[in-house]
Each structure stands twice: as structure tokens, then as C-alpha cells.
Structure 1
Amino acid sequence: MSISSDVWNIVLVVALVLAVVVLLVLVATRRRLLFRGRTSEVLDDTGEAPQAAVVVHGVKVDDHDARRRQIEVLSGRLGWRAPVWLETTAQDPGRGQTRKAVADGASVVIAFGGDGTTRAVAESLARTGVPMGLLPAGTGNLLARNLGIPPNRLESSLHIALTGRNRTIDIGHVELADTLDSPPRKESFLVMSGLGFDAEVMATTAPELKKKIGWVAYVVAGASRLRGRRTPVTMQVDDGPVQQRKIRAVVVGNVGMLQGGIQLMPGALPDDGWLDVVVVSPRGMTGWLPVVGAILTRRDHTTVEHFRCRTIEIHADRPMFAQLDGDPTGTAQTLKARVDPLALVVRVPG
């Protein structure tokens, strides 16, 4: 006896409906498990639910009250107490707030802002063993991107910050001097520090444009500054010989990926105990074409040099624009950088 085509059609429709229902149930179940948490597994040493501290940028994060309520609700679903809320100020971008959070016994300190906020929090968390979580809300968010943490997705990044895997990474320390004879100012970086073209672009990009189109604003600003003269520098990598170059930019990195997934330093890892260095020396406007080609294809070219080191010292013939983790930091004529291996614990997807 054969089955009519109408019966087959009915069977196929029923099977399709059942498959959709099963898929929806699985998605809903996974979402409930993701945010329900199990309090018994996250109790701290005192038998209480743990508590995070959130160091939030006073300007970059919009609608603080709504974000705070959202974080409190999500924390509760994961078995955590409502977090301590600490806002940055113009005088203190996060260092003092982080030290207070550690002294008060926070189980994790969460940087809620851009790479500048992250850097300030990390400086005070270094060598404490207290993990840092990331709620990336800036323009670049390069550390988060390199660690696989989704920018501007609060629920996902908070889940990682509270329940993710601990990963210990390096920190870069840098000394920048305005002139060859002036005392240096000491800073830290987690992503990249540099002199020259990249820092100039970051310093001259209009904040209004960044707010409108995000990191693409850097591309717009960079296009107008491709023309420029090279600067003579002397450079010493570790204990090697002093070398001379004429450069447009030098970048010292702890991680290698830029916005858009571009690998400026393909071999850079945040926990390998090394700094990766790129020296860019194009001559004129057309000299940038092989630079872009070398970066995109990851091939060597005479205008793009790569180094790996634990320390590097650079002296320029004139002051150059400087940047730390994408934040302009004035000008400098001297840059000295060193790596501090495995100094910081960060929560990453796990």
C-alpha cells in the first residue's frame, strides 16, 4: 500500500515543527543555565556569595543607573552579591578605586570602560593575584578583542568576568621622557605603546567622529597624515648593539591584533614573556603601499621590521607623538619599555 503525497507533506510539516520546538527549548535551556548560576559552587571562604567591584569610566559609559541595575540583576542570577560600584574621576582614572576594592576584599575587579580604564585597573591589580574582569565599552577595546571578550555586549562579558577562566598575562612597563634630558614618566600598558604615526593619528582623531563611526575614525584621520618626514632614532634591543633608523613609527606590543582583526604582530601572545616590536619606515606617500601589503600578507619588507625582546630603548632626534593602549599621551623623545611576565590575572572565556 502506498502513502499519498498529502500524507507525506503532513509528516514533513509535523517533523519540521517538532524540530523548531526542540531547537527553541534547547536555546532557552542554555540561556537559563548560562545566567542562573549555582550559588553553592561560588561561595567564598566565609561561606557567603562572592562580590565583585566595578570600576566604571565616568564618561564612556552612558546611563550609569540602568547599567548598574542590569549588572546587579545579572550578578544575582550567577550567585554573586550586588557589586561595589566605583566611578573614575578626572583626577583618578581607576588606580585608587582598584586599590580600595582589593583592600575591601573584592573577589574580582571589573574594568568597565575603554583600554585606558583597563590599564589603570591593571596597574593596581598587578602582582596581587586578584583577577580583573573586562566590560569593554570604549572605541578600541583591543585587550578584550585579543582575549576573545566581546566588546559592548554587557551580558556576555559580565558572565566571563564572573565565571570565566583565569589567565595570567604579561604587563608592559614604559618610561617616556619629553626630552633626552628630562625625567621620565613611568606608565604601564597591556596592548601597545608607541611613538610616531600611530600615536599622531590617535591624538588628532576627533572625539565626535569616534563616537559616530567608532574605530573607523582612526582610518579617516590616518589617511590625512600619510605624508610626513621620517625621524632619525637610535634603538637598542635587549643588550644588543645600538642601531640607527629613520622611522615614521615604532610600536611595542604585548598583543598583536588591531581593530578589524588585522595582525600587526602575528606572533605576539599576552603570556609569552616577550615584547613584540614593529618599526615602520616608509618613504613618502607611496611608501605606505608596501607597508600595508606587508602587514596584511604577513610578509617581510624593508620598510617593516619585527623584533622580539624583553627590553627596548629608543631615542629620537626630536619629540614624537606617543600613545599607550590607544590613548594619546603627549610627546616624547625617549621610550624605554620592559616586560613584566605573568603579572596580571584576567578573566577570559573558558
Structure 2
Amino acid sequence: MSISSDVLRDVVLIAVLVIAVVVLITLVLTRRRLLFRSRPTENLDGASEAPRAAVVVHGKKVDDHDARRRQIEVLSGRLGWRAPVWLETTIEDPGRGQTRKAVADGASVVIAFGGDGTTRVVAGSLAGTNVPMGLLPAGTGNLLARNLGVPPNRLESSLHIALTGRNRTIDIGHVEMADAPGAPPREESFLVMSGLGFDAEVMATTAPELKKKIGWGAYVIAGAGRLRGRRTPVTMRVDDGPVQQRKIRAVVVGNVGMLQGGIQLMPGALPDDGWLDVVVVSPRGMTGWLPVVGAVLTRRNHATVEHFRCRTIEIHADKPMFAQLDGDPAGKAQSLKAWVDPLALIVRVPG
């Protein structure tokens, strides 16, 4: 029995309509799946699964906490993040316990909101955790932030980097300092620079009120009054090399090389090269500082400015000297041993 052309036409038309409906339904379902995946999922209690940061904030470095906190919450929301956990440091705990709590609670990034000292403490607790550290630099020096390209005292820009920037893995320096021969050493970490002598003395004797008024210029004023001074005999051992003797005014061990104003104290220092850079300064009297300044500014060698690169260094002085860690006074020490922990910390930097 033959099928009429009208019946055949109707069958073809129905088949085409069925195929069109199937294609349309498939497109709609696919679009819905894509839209669903692009939105933050929710728990049974309605909590969003958007990432969440923790902010470890230095109580005395940040003014108007409530306003800054609200600003950070608003900016975080605009970037698709939940309101961050706010953890303030205390005299008893400058950030170690707060950082460990943030990691244990599952923070996607832990942000150090303060100066280099707060950053150093937070970094020491984040090392090896695979949780990145963000920077909201609000101190006087902010040297780590400057060396990594994070703008100091610009909250919106630095928060944007902390939440959406590129991860960069950097080294951490460690030091053991002892107050006297045979005394039990105290171990600390540093990200910028540590050292003994003139620079540490300046940092220890700079008036906090002056730092608040004129910033890092207060260090210049304090340093000008301490240019006179005798050199201290020390012995040094760089890596597995021989013991060397020097008479010094200062020794600085650095993980990065740039100071305020873009001055390169250690031009070859990189935060992720697996090395420590060392500068030994040995001027005689006040006039001896002139070639030191010239050597630093012109990046040329001079007998009073020596540069080393090492994995470890040990320094023993004839008498206790002022010590510093990332620009913070660290009391006095008669011996210092420093070593590098390569690529131990993840930091958010500009993308």
C-alpha cells in the first residue's frame, strides 16, 4: 500500500518539530546548568560558599577600626567574597594564634593589616601551610609590600591584590639570637632584613611620636645623632667558609634589598632566589659614613661596605649589640645565626 504525499509530508513535519523541541529543551537545560555553576552554592543553612578571608589587624597601627572594617567588608562583597573574619592582635599575642585559628577555620587567604612586624608574625605562622598571605600595609616602613609592588596605605588597591592577585612563593629568613655566650638563643623569622648594630640602634631609639608625625624621616633624624661611635670587633662565618674577623658598625642580613625611597641596599637580592644577602658596614668616625652613603647610592664597591651572598651566616660580637627584625627593635644580642627557608611562603602580589 502506497503512502500519500500528504501523509509523508505530515510525518516529516512532526519529526522536524520533535527534533526542534528536543534541541530547545537541551539548550535551556544547558544554560540553566551553566548559570547554576556560576553562582556561589549554598549550604543547607543558606550560607554562601563564596571564599572568605581572615584579617589579622594590629590594634595600634590602624586608626578607626570600625570604619576600616566596614570598608573592607563592602570591597570584599564587590569582589565576590564573604565578609572577612576580623582578628585583632594583642600584647600577649601579636598575631600567631590569630593566624593559626584562621588557617584552622579554613580561610582562603590570611591578610596582615599593619606594619612589617605584623606581617612577619603572620608569615611565620603561615609558612608551609599553602594558605596565601595578603598585605594591607599600614606601618611606617612597609618594606616587604614595597619590594613586592603592593602599594602602602592604599586600602582599596592592596585589598584587591590580596583577594584577586597572583600567588608568589617567597623565601623566609630565620635567625637565632643569643644575649651572651652560652645563653639560650631565641628564634625568630624575618621577611625583609635582620641585623646587628647601627641600623638596629636607630630603630630602637626613634621616638614613636615622631614616626607618627613624619614617617620614616624620623629614622633619618635619629640616625644623624648616632653617626659617631666605635666599631665593634666581630667574627663571621659565611656558609662553610673560614672564620673571618671584622670591626663593624652594622651587619644586615636581607631577604629583599630595597629600602624606603627606592634605595637599593642589596641590589641583587630577590625574595624567591633561595639566598640571603649580607651587607657589612665598617666606617671610621663620622666622615667614614660619606663613602658608605656613596657606595649605597651608586651601587659601587668600597672598602667600608662589603657584600656577601649565602645560605647561612654566623656572627659573634665582642659585646652585645642592638638587634632588629624587619625594622622592629629586638633588644640586644651578642651572637646571630641566620639561614634561609626557600620558597616557604605564598604571598599575593599584583597580577
For 2:41 and 2:110, locate their aligned partners in 1 and report how far apart those are by CA, in whole Å: 15
- Quote the offset at 1:41 in angstroms: 7.1
| Structure with the greater alpha carbon radius of gyration | 2
Secondary structure of 1:222's match?
A: helix
- Quote the offset at 1:180 in angstroms: 1.4
- Paired position in structure 2 for 1:194: 195
1:45/1:94 CA distance change after superposition, 3 Å? farther
Q: Quick check: 1:275–1:310 contact (8 Å CA) kept in 2?
A: yes
- Paired position in structure 1 for 2:7: none
- Quote the offset at 1:344 in angstroms: 0.1
For 1:45 and 1:336, locate their aligned partners in 2 and report how far apart those are by CA, in whole Å: 50
Query: Normalised by the size of structure 1, how large is the TM-score?
Result: 0.87
- Paired position in structure 2 for 1:57: 58
Matches within 5 A, 1:1-350: 48-350=49-351
1:45/1:271 CA distance change after superposition, 3 Å? farther
- Quote the offset at 1:181 in angstroms: 1.4
For 2:38 and 2:315, locate their aligned partners in 1 and report how far apart those are by CA, in whole Å: 50
1:344/1:42 CA distance change after superposition, 3 Å? farther
Secondary structure of 2:340's match?
A: strand
For 1:154 and 1:112, locate their aligned partners in 2 and report how far apart those are by CA, in whole Å: 10
- Quote the offset at 1:43 in angstroms: 5.8
Q: Quick check: 1:43–1:50 contact (8 Å CA) kept in 2?
A: no
Q: How far does the alpha carbon of each residue in 1:215-253 deviate from its partner, in whole angstroms, 9 at most, with x for none?
A: 000000000000000000000000000000000000000
Q: Quick check: 1:42–1:79 contact (8 Å CA) kept in 2?
A: no
Q: What is the aligned residue count? A: 312
- What is the percentage of aligned positions where both structures have the same residue? 88
| Residue identity matched to 2:50 | A
| Residue identity matched to 1:302 | A
- Paired position in structure 1 for 2:3: none
Unaligned runs of 5+ in 1: 1-38
Q: How far does the alpha carbon of each residue in 1:156-201 deviate from its partner, in whole angstroms, 9 at most, with x for none?
A: 0000000000000000000000011101000000000000000000
1:109/1:225 CA distance change after superposition, 3 Å? same
- Quote the offset at 1:45 in angstroms: 12
| Residue identity matched to 2:223 | G
Q: Quick check: 1:44–1:50 contact (8 Å CA) kept in 2?
A: no
For 2:41 and 2:188, locate their aligned partners in 1 and report how far apart those are by CA, in whole Å: 33
| Residue identity matched to 2:159 | L
